[in-house]
Amino acid sequence: MIKKAIIFLVLTVLVGGGFVFGANYLLNQQGQPQVTAASMIDVVKPEQKFRKVVVASKPLSFGTILESGNLTEISWPQNALPQGAYGSIEEMLKDGSRVALRPIEINEPVLSSKITGSNEKASLSQVIAEGNRAVTIRVNDVAGVAGFILPGDRVDVVLTRSVTIQTGIDGDRRRNKKSSIADLLLQGVRVLTVDQFADERSDQPQVAKAVTLELNSIDAQKVALASTVGDLSLLLRSAGDQSVDEPKTIKLSDLGSFVPPQPVKANSLVPAPSAIKNVSMVVVRRPKATQEYEVPNQ
């Protein structure tokens, strides 16, 4: 009886295992075509369309004349065409020669906003944004950051000027003295040219005598007025810095607590600093006499 029971149990396990294996195999065979079809749907994508675009075959700088030798045509996705791109070199130059107004790198699309019109020359007026003005200020090796300011950089403009400060009233007369202050006039201004040099690709510093800035009309008036009342200096910003600081007037007192001694005139009644005693007068009153004593200050 025990042997029969064992044999029956083994047969039951084998039959059950075979049934499970067969059912799993059939299910896999039925589901496989559906998974494959779904995968094919995900892989198939719409066909990408391209068209020709004119790009620079060599680095182009401000004032470079465009011609077939420094231009070429490449394929570009039609749904990602940059605004102002040209489809062919012939189309770009059909009405006459053109000149680059901005630096253009190799394989960068040549856009209408970066070149002149047909048969036009590259001039400063064509690189100024609409509504802005170009203003030139005088600089030297210090005010111009030792020549390290280049076209395309961003700078702050500082005005240093002399002012008269009222220090008190002496009877009916006011006592005044002259002092100096510095104001942060403008921030993040774009440099158009250094002297007469406008190539933004240049990386060679040069000490200049004049720097031309691009400003709106109000800021242009500020610079024109400021140049008549004081000295203008430029502060070079790091590339990409667009921060705006809170303007603050810097006075001589902000440079430190030391105040230089003022010279004393020969006929002045005020004694020299060395003649002034650091003492106080103490009055002692007695029944028959009053005496004054000098007591050193502690």
CATH number for the domain that contains residue 90: 3.90.1210.10
> Is 219 a member of any domain?
yes
- Ordered mean pLDDT values, 10 residues apiece, the chain (298 residues): 64 63 62 51 68 91 87 90 90 88 88 85 78 87 67 90 74 73 91 74 68 92 92 87 85 69 52 52 59 60
In a domain, 282, yes or no: no
Partners of 168 in beta bridges: 175
Residue 141 inside a domain? The answer is: yes
Asked if 24 and 164 count as a contact pair (C-beta separation under 8 A), the reply is: no
Compute the distance between CA of residue 144 and CA of residue 142 in angstroms, rounded to an integer.
5
State the pLDDT at residue 109: 93
> What pLDDT was estimated at residue 248?
84
Q: Mark whether 239 and 172 lie in a shared domain.
A: yes
* Coil/strand/helix, residue 138: strand
DSSP 231-255: EEEEEEPPTT----PPP--EEGGGG
Residue listed under structure tokens 């007068």: 281
Residue 242 in domain = yes
Listed in sequence order, the DSSP H helices in the chain are 2-43, 89-93, 217-229
**Total number of domains in the chain:** 2
**pTM score:** 0.55
Count the helices and strands in the chain (H runs, E runs): 3, 10
pLDDT of res. 241: 83
Please list, in sequence order, all residues whose beta carbon lies within 8 angstroms of the beta carbon of residue 174, skipping any fewer than 6 positions away. 166, 168
Q: How much is the pLDDT for 126?
A: 78
Identify the domain boundary among 81, 96, 122. Answer: 122
List all residues 6 or more positions away from 185 whose beta carbon is below 8 Å from its beta carbon.
157, 158, 159, 222, 223, 226, 232
Question: Does one domain contain both 148 and 250?
Answer: yes
Model pLDDT, residue 42 = 55
pLDDT attached to residue 55: 93
Residues 194, 99 share a domain: no
Domain boundary among 82, 100, 122: 122
One domain, residues 84 and 177: no
Q: Are residues 111 and 138 in the same domain?
A: no
Kindly report each contact of residues 215-221 with a partner whose C-beta sits within 8 Å and lies 24 or more positions away, as own/partner.
215/132, 215/133, 215/134, 215/135, 215/186, 215/189, 216/131, 216/132, 216/133, 217/131, 217/132, 217/133, 219/186, 219/189, 220/133, 220/135
Identify whether 198 is part of a domain. Answer: yes
pLDDT at 111: 92
Residues 146 and 233 in one domain: yes
Instruction: Specify the residue for token string 């109000």.
Output: 218
276 in a structural domain: no
Q: Are residues 156 and 181 in the same domain?
A: yes
Half-sphere exposure of 237 (CA within 13 A, CB side): 21
> What domain range includes position 219?
132-254
Say what the pLDDT of residue 157 is.
92
Largest CA distance in the chain: 149
Q: Are residues 186 and 205 in the same domain?
A: yes
64 shares its domain with 149: no
Same domain for 147 and 237?
yes
My answer on whether 142 and 86 are in the same domain is: no
Helical (H) or strand (E) element with 158 = strand 154-170
Domain shared by 58 and 114, yes or no = yes
What letter would DSSP give residue 104?
B
Select from 72, 91, 122 the last residue of a domain.
122
Distances, alpha carbon 14 to alpha carbons 18, 22, 128, in Å: 6, 12, 89
Half-sphere exposure of 180 (CA within 13 A, CB side): 9
Q: What per-residue confidence (pLDDT) applies to 293?
A: 58
